Amino acid sequence: MKKEKDKHLGLRIDSETHDKLKDLAEYEGRSINGEVLYLIRQAIKKYEIENN
């Protein structure tokens, strides 16, 4: 079976939120992309726990 390529998601974000996200990512030792993925996965996990 062929592995599907990762998807690209464009995201518009205001400067203040971007700066805070950058600070958070640096604090956690992640890239901004890595931090966004981590936060999305946490939200999905929480949703699945609460709705299953």
Convert the pLDDT of each residue in 2-37 to its tens digit.
778 899 999 999 999 999 999 999 999 999 999 999
Average model confidence (pLDDT) across the chain: 95
What is the rounded distance in angstroms from the CA atom of residue 31 to the CA atom of residue 40? 14
Q: What is the pLDDT of residue 7?
A: 92
- DSSP per residue, 26-51: HHHT--HHHHHHHHHHHHHHHHHHHT
List the chain domain ranges: 15-50
